[in-house]
Amino acid sequence: MHNLSPNSVENLIKKIKNAGFKNIITVIDKATYYKIKGKDICRFLANECNIKISDSEDEAYSLIIEYIKNFGALVISNASFKDYVIKDPKLSYKEIKEYIVPFTVENGEINLDIELLRKLYTELVTKRIEKI
């Protein structure tokens, strides 16, 4: 989380919740968690989200991919899943890429296109219903 303002993650979570999304899960590896532990953002995440702390970055990627596969979860991330997927021959980036919603950081704030998020969610729900 480079060059983020202190309130940028909080503002992002509020923006997502104001758009009507309720179940927000934050997946974070222990190294990152201990960097922010005790800070206001950690308390905010604990109050507003379900936090899953993994032992390593690879375990965090694995957990996120499980959420995608099992629940069709949308993932807001600027991380590259390609490097992780290359390590696992059973995975295909093509299978998960439509679930990953990128964001940018400008002037310390996280920019996320909420309308894109809604559109992707609608498309994914429609695809799941069509499979039934």
Q: Which of 56, 10, 11 is nearest to 30 (CA)?
A: 56
Rg, C-alpha atoms of the chain: 15
Mean pLDDT taken over the chain: 85
Phi and psi angles of residue 104, each rounded to the nearest 5 degrees, phi first: -125, 165
According to the model, what pLDDT value does residue 1 have?
47
Q: What is the pTM of this model?
A: 0.79
pLDDT > 90 fraction of the chain, expressed in percent and rounded: 23
The pLDDT, as a whole number, for residue 24 is: 92
Contact 33, 26 (CB under 8 A): no
Question: What are the pLDDT digits (tens) for 24-59?
Answer: 999 988 988 888 777 788 888 888 999 999 999 889
Span 1-22, mean pLDDT? 83
Q: Which whole number is the average pLDDT over 84-99?
A: 79
Could you tell me the two tokens for 130?
A: 């069509």
Predicted pLDDT of residue 132: 79
Structure tokens, 61: 């990627």
- 94, two tokens: 């093509």
pLDDT value for 27: 92
